[in-house]
Structure 1
Amino acid sequence: MVPFFVLFAAATVAPVAYAGCMSLYEKRASGLGFGGAERAFAGIGNYTKALTDPAFLHSFGNIAVYCAIYIPVMIGGALALALCVDSALARAKRFFQIAYFLPHAVPAIIASLIWLYLYTPGLSPVTDALQGLGLHWDFLGSDETLLSIVNISAWQWIGYNMIIFYAALQAVPRETLEAARVDGAGELRTALRIKIPMISSTVVLTLLFTCVGAVQLFDSPKIVQLRADGMSEEWSPTMFIYNAAFKGYDYGLAAAASLLLALVAGALSFVVTKLGNRWRQS
């Protein structure tokens, strides 16, 4: 276990400790602005600055709405696909497993660029086809941007989570499923009353990973923001942190915001785990 703890300390503990140290300092100009900037102790000043920044707070609101749409779509879609592939009526199961998983093999940046091309009017065959049918949908409009980002994330992750659910379904005792069929249960009832309850642990674990990943969303909104005029450069908390560090060069604020984001992710993980355990016990 020593190699694991060495890597964990070097790749996780040390960066977090360094970020905590950075968050307590800020750069202050001296000599009426002519003496350069010096590092000064700020205490909790950076945390206060982040918590009172409207852009930072608004970014959490955007992520909350994103999670409310994305998580049910992703978990529900992945679970539905897994149940369909696991069904006794399904054919070519291996083909569909590979086909559904392929989008996840595409790097997030590349996937976002592909979808940005498909969202751009005048370039996208999708928008041209919709206009040919007399329909108008602005994928990059201020009201549609959120759904466009949800679509990118769902397209990339549904297949991955489908494989996880399908693997869990393979562990369900076949004798139990055969007994349900003998008792007259159809595929839908077997799925709802037997399969899903028996893989509840996997569903809760996947939900936990999905929630933690959702609050750290960065790639797709960062790429979509390049074309969406009504979308802020600080749309998500990670985008706010990126701008604070690499555009505003305020590393203390970026470190404080990062730790606050980690705290939110930890609290969300705790809540999801508690609710998931109650669902499994019931």
Structure 2
Amino acid sequence: MTTARRKSYGVKGAPYAHPSPTTALKGALRAPYFFLLPATLLFALFFALPIGYALWLSLHKVQVKGLGLGAGARSEVWAGLENYTDALTDNELLDGALRVLGYGVIVVPVMLGLALLFALMLDTDKVRLAPFTRLAIFLPYAIPGVVAALLWGFLYLPDVSPFYFILDRLGMPQPDLLDGGPLYLALSNIAVWGGTGFNMIVIYTSLQAIPAEVYEAAKLDGATPLQIALKIKIPMVTPSLVLTFFFSIIATLQVFSEPTTLKPLTNSVSTTWSPLMKVYRDAFGAGDIYSAAAEAVIIAIVTLFLSFGFLRAANSRNKQEEAR
């Protein structure tokens, strides 16, 4: 008994050759790379290439011959680690790092504490107008940082702020929030006002993912709402707390827009108040892009080590708790 082989015919009756299994397999293996190609090119052009160029600039400097006039008077030469040594011994950069450290000590605990509190409050059954409340808390995050800094900056000015007018009518003292120690509170308030909503949404989403059976079992065991929050909800959203803390550290080390925006309103904010402001001043004010590149690389390395160090500590703690 013979079996007739079926043939496929293309245009005008010409036989159509089916691809071999080997060719089809090779095409299937190559397909993911074609889909990844656009993202890879964008990553290389707008992320990897700028980082590589910054590293290259940080290892060079400009050598001036004579008066620096005429063709060939300025040339780019190899500097090695000279720019990094100068940056690490620069008092302005170190002072800016200390100011940012004090700023972060205020911002991170307050912002995450409020985000956790709001998330726990919104996760209760008795809360009213929950969708509106979530939107109201999250809305400041949607406002650009420069706009938020301008808004709060004018509220801090005694001549135009309605708060100072009210304090004056009540005969109460009017503190200068843009000078000295209160400046840290003024800047921290802008960051907390703008970042609490985002962190609250992250934590609230994790709370919503907790199975309802867990709460029902806790209620049957006689747990109060406070005990459920402290012993069930907070431990179960620890990964979200770690994530928000990670993002908050990065944002704190990279603070730039708030002090830069408030700088024209007060003399207490210098051009090197934060490390990134120092980088901006050196690159675009002094025209020394090589030193600025070295400073930017140092900030990136410090951010990387702090972030991964914290993540490693958090992961090791979770493994210890799981082992118990």
Q: TM-score, normalising length from structure 2? A: 0.84
Task: Determine if contact 1:201/1:280 at 8 Å carries over to the other structure.
Answer: no
Task: Determine if contact 1:142/1:231 at 8 Å carries over to the other structure.
Answer: no
Task: Determine if contact 1:145/1:228 at 8 Å carries over to the other structure.
Answer: no
Q: Deviations over 1:146-199 (max 9, x none)?
A: 111110011001011111111111001111012112222222211111011111
Q: Deviations over 1:205-227 (max 9, x none)?
A: 11111111110110001111222
User: Which runs of 4 or more aligned residues in structure 1 lie more than 6 Å from their structure 2 counterparts after TM superposition?
Assistant: none
Q: 261-270 or 6-15: which moved more?
A: 6-15
5+ residue gaps in structure 2? 1-35
Partner of 1:127: 164
Shift of 1:234: 0.4
CA distance in 1, matches of 2:166, 2:317: 44
Q: Give the secondary-structure state (helix, strand or coil) at the position aligned to 1:89.
A: coil
RMSD of aligned alpha carbons: 1.3
CA distance in 2, matches of 1:127, 1:6: 53
Partner of 2:39: 4
Q: Residue 22 of structure 1 is aligned with which of 57, 80, 97?
A: 57
Larger radius of gyration: 2
CA distance in 2, matches of 1:183, 1:132: 55
Shift of 1:17: 0.2
CA distance in 1, matches of 2:218, 2:67: 80
Q: Does 1:267 align with 2:267?
A: no
Q: Give the secondary-structure state (helix, strand or coil) at the position aligned to 2:77.
A: strand
Shift of 1:279: 4.0
The one-letter code of the counterpart of 2:288 is D
Percent identity between matched residues is: 38
5+ residue gaps in structure 1? none
CA distance in 1, matches of 2:317, 2:104: 20
The one-letter code of the counterpart of 1:211 is I
The one-letter code of the counterpart of 2:57 is M
Q: Residue 236 of structure 2 is aligned with which of 189, 198, 202?
A: 198
Partner of 1:55: 92
CA distance in 1, matches of 2:151, 2:317: 38
User: How many equivalent pairs are there?
Assistant: 282
Task: Determine if contact 1:74/1:157 at 8 Å carries over to the other structure.
Answer: yes
CA distance in 2, matches of 1:30, 1:166: 62
Q: Deviations over 1:20-76 (max 9, x none)?
A: 001111123211343443222211111111111100011111111111111001111
Write the mapping of 1:1-282 to structure 2, written as runs, cut at 5 A.
Answer: 1-35=36-70, 36-133=73-170, 134-281=172-319, 282=321
The one-letter code of the counterpart of 1:15 is P
Task: Determine if contact 1:71/1:211 at 8 Å carries over to the other structure.
Answer: yes
Task: Determine if contact 1:216/1:238 at 8 Å carries over to the other structure.
Answer: yes
The one-letter code of the counterpart of 1:156 is G
Q: Deviations over 1:98-147 (max 9, x none)?
A: 11111011111111110111011110112222333312211101111111
Shift of 1:77: 0.7
Shift of 1:261: 0.4
CA distance in 2, matches of 1:85, 1:269: 29
Q: Give the secondary-structure state (helix, strand or coil) at the position aligned to 2:265.
A: coil
Q: 17-26 or 182-191: which moved more?
A: 182-191
The one-letter code of the counterpart of 1:161 is N
Task: Determine if contact 1:60/1:236 at 8 Å carries over to the other structure.
Answer: yes
CA distance in 2, matches of 1:127, 1:229: 20
CA distance in 1, matches of 2:41, 2:149: 35
Task: Determine if contact 1:70/1:150 at 8 Å carries over to the other structure.
Answer: yes
The one-letter code of the counterpart of 1:180 is A
CA distance in 2, matches of 1:273, 1:77: 22
CA distance in 2, matches of 1:277, 1:255: 33
Partner of 2:13: none
The one-letter code of the counterpart of 1:40 is V
